[in-house]
Amino acid sequence: VKLDRVLLSLRQMELNKLLALNDETTRRALTPLRLLRGSICIVVLVLTAFMMLVYFGFMSAIVVRLFSVHYSRKMTSIVFAAWLGLWPFLFEKINNTKVVFSGEIVPDKERTLLIANHRTEVDWMYMWDLALRKGSLGYIKYVLKSSLMKLPIFGWAFHILEFIPVRRKWEIDEPVMRQMLSTLKDPQDPLWLAIFPEGTDFTEQKSNRSQKYAAENGLPILKHVLLPKTKGFFACVEELRNSLDAVYDVTIGYKPRCPLILDNVFGLNPSEVHIHIRRLSLN
């Protein structure tokens, strides 16, 4: 129960400040140059995804794994990081999105569990900016909805990268999660495991339902996040506690407003991303 309360109170002070950035409604115009540039980026990202994640990913994740799981993960992380590095380059260099970090410093080479707020469908992409700066881009994994595992090319990549699929039905998800988590306990394998406790991205409609449920059950009324679903988080901590260095609470805010995937591709939004980090020791 105490851990439930801790999760419910996480990020509130920073959210009030960071999410105030979304008060502005303006965004960059979709000019012919941005349209052309974004279209070229899509082609490059898809073609390189096919080459890096499907061809080289197969070699590292399947062939090498026959001989060594550790070296298979190491090689897969190198391939994955090479492709993923294109996204922060797109965000920060091509689109000129300013990424601002605050809070505590994440040490290099830690095995971590990251929990983050889920304002939009692209929150997980901006966690790559943090992982890149810590040399852990190839080691980041996500707990994500199972339907994404069926996407062409990318779904295959999610499988070989050992992302954990969930269907949002705990009686089905628990055995799958615990089985996959049990394979990630080796302290010799670097790990950044990210989970979004809210379970879905934030909308006003979902927020109203969440606040109504909270009021009916004597829980805190949260304005900027949904009530967290704690079972998945607890399972991660229980299974990995002895091999993790820390849990990191990551709060993401956008200026002028929360972006969609196409906003990112064409450089329309955001102009700034603010990422606040809080370290929660497991000791």
Burial of 183 (0-12, 13-18, 19+ CB in 10 A): exposed
Phi, psi dihedral angles at 107 (to 5 degrees) = -65, 155
Phi, psi dihedral angles at 98 (to 5 degrees) = -85, 125
DSSP state of 11: T
Buried b (16+ CB within 10 A) or exposed e, 91-108: beebbebebeeeeeebee
The number of folded domains in the chain is 1
* Alpha-carbon gap, residue 255 to 261, rounded angstroms: 15
Tell me the residue range of the domain where 234 lies.
2-281
Tens digit of each residue's pLDDT (9 = 90 or more) over 179-232? 999 999 999 999 999 999 999 999 999 999 999 999 999 999 998 899 999 999
Tens digit of each residue's pLDDT (9 = 90 or more) over 122-178? 999 999 999 999 999 999 999 999 998 888 878 888 888 899 999 989 999 999 999
The H or E element that residue 166 is part of is strand 164-166
Q: What is the pTM of this model?
A: 0.86
